[in-house]
């Protein structure tokens, strides 16, 4: 994991190895398995597309209780910047009415999306809403919504890989890369 990658007009350098990501997912799954041990209902995992696909898939493999999987798609980024406005691109693919829901996000930064998601899920009739995120940027998260499961905390940098993108590319990388501020570095294409 020592190669830089180029996505569109930006260069990214290695930040978090896949091994470290997998360890964080193991820890989140262990906590979740303890919390839901012996549950007789079937909680819903709400995968927030497209960024959470890889995290949700890896997390599900590690869960020892039954879950139902549904998804929805929101958008708030243009390029490397959050617009601050959340747009629902695709509604929920199933019902959460009368169910316990675990929202699975790839990353929480400002928390605007999480606040909207929690509201939407409650309005749709969920009996309980928990928040699970692979990554948290604590220096910019100042919302009152409790994050129940956090894989790891990171600085407030723009990152790609393991589901995270820059203008829809870069999600496929197993590792996570951070925007490289070195303008003199060039990646051979």
Name the more confident of 175 and 113.
175
- Structure confidence at residue 63 as a pLDDT band (50, 70, 90): very high
Contact 145/116 with Cβ under 8 angstroms? no
Distance CA 27, CA 33 (A): 10
Mean pLDDT of 71-95: 72
Q: What's the pLDDT score for residue 74?
A: 80
Q: What's the pLDDT score for residue 15?
A: 97
Domain annotation covers residue 183: no
The neighbour count for residue 85, using CB atoms within 10 Å, is 9
Domain annotation covers residue 164: no
Check if 109 is active-site: yes
Mean pLDDT of the chain: 91
Mean pLDDT of 141-167: 96
- Structure confidence at residue 91 as a pLDDT band (50, 70, 90): confident
pLDDT at 187 over 80: no
Domain annotation covers residue 135: yes
Element at 89 (helix H, strand E): strand 81-90
Domain annotation covers residue 73: yes
Helices (H), the chain: 18-36, 53-62, 112-123
Phi, psi angle pair for 163, to nearest 5°: 100, -20
pLDDT at 85 over 90: no
Mean pLDDT of 74-93: 67
CATH code of the domain containing 79: 3.40.50.2020
Mean pLDDT of 24-34: 98
pLDDT tens for 41-50 read 999 999 999 9
pTM reported for the whole predicted model: 0.90
Q: Which of 106, 109, 165, 175 is catalytic?
A: 109
Q: What's the pLDDT score for residue 84?
A: 61
Q: How many percent of the chain have pLDDT more than 70?
A: 88
Total count of domains within the chain = 1
Is the backbone peptide bond immediately before 176 cis, with ω within 30 degrees of 0? no
Domain annotation covers residue 180: no
Domain annotation covers residue 145: yes
pLDDT at 183 over 70: no
pLDDT at 108 over 70: yes
Q: Give the three-state DSSP class for 53.
A: helix
Domain interval for residue 150: 18-154
Domain annotation covers residue 169: no
Domain annotation covers residue 168: no
pLDDT at 141 over 90: yes
Q: Give the three-state DSSP class for 7.
A: strand
Name the more confident of 18 and 50.
18
């Amino acid at each position: 994991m020592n190669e830089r990658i180029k996505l569109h007009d930006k260069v990214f350098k290695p930040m978090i190895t896949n091994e470290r990501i997998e360890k964080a997912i193991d820890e989140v799954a262990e906590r979740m398995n303890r919390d839901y041990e012996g549950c007789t209902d079937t909680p819903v995992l709400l995968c927030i597309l497209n960024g959470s696909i890889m995290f949700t898939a890896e997390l599900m493999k590690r869960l020892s209780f039954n879950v139902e999987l549904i998804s929805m798609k929101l958008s708030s980024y243009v390029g490397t910047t959050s617009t601050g406005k959340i747009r629902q691109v695709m509604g929920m693919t199933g019902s959460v009415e009368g169910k316990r829901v675990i929202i699975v996000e790839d990353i929480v930064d400002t928390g605007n999306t999480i606040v909207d998601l929690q509201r939407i899920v409650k309005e749709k009739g969920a009996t309980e809403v928990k928040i699970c995120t692979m990554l948290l940027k604590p220096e910019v998260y100042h919302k009152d919504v409790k994050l129940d499961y956090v894989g790891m905390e990171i600085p407030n940098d723009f990152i790609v890989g393991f589901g995270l993108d820059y203008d829809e590319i870069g999600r496929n990388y197993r590792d996570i890369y951070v925007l490289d501020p070195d303008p003199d570095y060039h990646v051979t294409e």
